[in-house]
Amino acid sequence: MLDVIGLTPAEEELYRCLLQLTTARIDELVRRLDRPREQVVAEVEALRAKGLVQATDTDPDAPLRPNAPDVALGATLLRRQEDLEAARRRVTQLAEEYRSGLRRHHVDHLVEVITGARVLRDRLRDLQNSARTEVLWFCRANPLAMAGPENLEEFDALARGVSYRAIYERELLLEPGALTDLAKGVGAGEQARVLDRLPVRLAIVDARTAICPLVADRDGGEPSAAVIGRSQLLDALLALFESHWRVATRLRLDDPDPTDDGSHAERPADGYRPDADEARLLSLFVAGVPDKSIASQLGVSRRTVQRRLADLMDAAGVDTRPGLAFQVARRGWI
């Protein structure tokens, strides 16, 4: 215990023995401690040098008496305390230098710039393969690096339990085959919503890494993007996504369950609840998808789409399409 101030365990034990005896000779200490005489003599001399045993004449058999420990060790304790305080201040200084260097390191590595469609595509795939909890997407029309059908990593991630939330621009839904591709993702578990316009392209993985293009689409040239680590900038991008997610329209593109007749589902207060086919139709309608594209997605004629929308307007008690869109939102039909 007292080795922190230079007293060995053997010396401490000898000193305690001497305190109990008040006075003792070398031979008595040898018997009590069961140690070789040479070791006891050396330890007594060490205690004398530290001021814990009274100095005597040169007679090796003279009685030994202990000195008060607070007097003998007080100065040593004070010096050690001063040394510890100096060491504490030094550690504090080094810790601040460490944090300062860490901050500089983080600033230097906060944003990594990558260039080229292939590099961007590979990074998007790597991030999805490493995803553990959730992937967020802003999906704009005319993809820069990876079209929807090429993103096979999404299905692997969904299969291992990763959540996907994607917001699509309405224009993207009008591209040939886009609705069919989106339906596959939704069928695998993706949560999809749509907005008329998105501010940027964006992917965020596990709320720890984001990828965002650096130049506008119209600028052309080789695509470049920023890979952003955990930071206030990433927090701002997460907030941007959530603000758009709250106002986006849900997309119902999954196939209806043929065994579900809706009898166990909770009905709205007005007693009417669209079935799965109607919910798909309404989600595309509210998203602003043209009747022709809706018909293609549902595998029906354009006239059938118009007739079904007319029936839904009757069910909602309105006679205009804007009125139907309002009632869909108010009644929570999708």
**Domain segments of the chain as ranges:** 2-67, 71-109, 112-250, 276-331
pLDDT digits (tens, 9 = 90+) for 232-247: 889 999 999 999 999 8
Whether the predicted pLDDT of 71 surpasses 70: no
Q: Report the pLDDT value the prediction gives residue 261, as an integer from 0 to 100.
A: 42
The residue ranking higher by pLDDT, 316 or 1, is 316
**Higher pLDDT pick, 5 / 31:** 31
Q: Is the pLDDT of residue 256 over 50?
A: no
CATH of segment(s) 276-331: 1.10.10.10
pLDDT at 264: 36
* pLDDT tier for residue 269 given thresholds of 50, 70 and 90: very low
> Cα(139)–Cα(247) distance, rounded to whole angstroms?
16
Cα separation of the two ends of the chain:
72
On the question of pLDDT at 268 being above 70, the answer is no
**Rounded distance, CA 101 to CA 95, Å?**
10
DSSP E strand boundaries for the chain? 111-115, 134-139, 163-169, 191-195, 202-205, 209-213, 224-228, 249-250
State the pLDDT at residue 12.
Answer: 86
Sign of CA dihedral 96, 99, 103, 108: positive
pLDDT at 140: 87
Query: Between residues 77 and 214, which one has the greater pLDDT?
Result: 214
Model-wide pTM > 0.85: no
| Mean pLDDT, residues 257-282 | 59
Tens digits of residue pLDDT in 137-192: 999 887 777 777 788 899 999 999 999 999 998 888 877 777 778 888 888 999 99
Mean of the per-residue pLDDT values of the chain: 80
Q: What is the pLDDT of residue 1?
A: 54
* Fold match, 2-67 / 276-331: yes
CA atoms of 125 and 29, how far apart (whole Å): 77
Right CATH for 2-67 from 3.30.750.24, 1.10.10.10, 1.10.260.40, 3.60.15.10: 1.10.10.10
Q: Is the pLDDT of residue 2 over 80?
A: no
Nearest-angstrom CA–CA distance, 254 and 70: 83
Given a cut of 70, whether residue 334 has pLDDT beyond it is yes
Q: Which residues of 139-160 are buried (b: 16+ CB within 10 A; e: fewer)?
A: bbeebbbbebeebebbeebbee
Give the pLDDT band of residue 257 (cuts 50, 70, 90): very low
Q: Say how far apart CA 134 and CA 124 lie, in whole Å.
A: 14
Here the tokens at position 282 are: 């309404």
pLDDT band at 266 (very low <50, low <70, confident <90, very high): very low
263 has a pLDDT exceeding 50: no
Where do we find the tokens 């009757």? 314
How would you class 239 by CB atoms within 10 Å of its CB: exposed for 0-12, middle for 13-18, buried for 19 or more?
Answer: exposed
For the domain spanning 112-250, the CATH number is 3.30.870.10
- Do 172 and 141 meet the contact criterion of CB atoms below 8 Å apart? yes
pLDDT band at 5 (very low <50, low <70, confident <90, very high): low
